[in-house]
Amino acid sequence: MSLKNKFFSVITLSVAVVAYSTFASAQDSTTTNSSDSVERQEKRERKGLGKRGEHGKGMRGGRHGGIMRGVRGLDLTDAQKEQLRVIHENNKPNEAVRQELQAIRQAKRDGGTITAEQKDRLKALRLQSREKAAQIHQQVLAILTSEQRQQLETRKEQMRKKREERRQLRRDNKQNTNKTTDN
Residue 131 lies in a domain: yes
**Residue 157: its pLDDT value, please?**
93
121-151 in b/e form (b: 16+ CB < 10 A) is ebeebeeeeeeeeeebeebbeebbeeebeeb
Q: What is the pLDDT of residues 125-173, one digit of tens each?
A: 889 888 988 898 898 889 888 898 898 889 889 999 999 999 999 999 9
Residue 60 lies in a domain: no
Q: At what angle do helices 78-90 and 116-143 cross, to 10 degrees?
A: 160
Does the structure show a pLDDT above 90 at 50?
Answer: no
Q: What is the pLDDT of residues 69-121, one digit of tens each?
A: 677 778 888 898 899 888 888 888 888 888 888 888 888 888 777 888 888 88
Amino acid at 179: K
Residue 53 lies in a domain: no
**How many independent structural domains does the chain possess?**
2
- Domain range enclosing 136: 67-182
**Residue 109: its pLDDT value, please?**
84
Residue 79 lies in a domain: yes
- Note whether 28 and 75 are same-domain residues: no
Residue 151 lies in a domain: yes
Q: What is the value of pTM for the model shown?
A: 0.51
Domain with residue 119: its CATH number is: 1.20.120
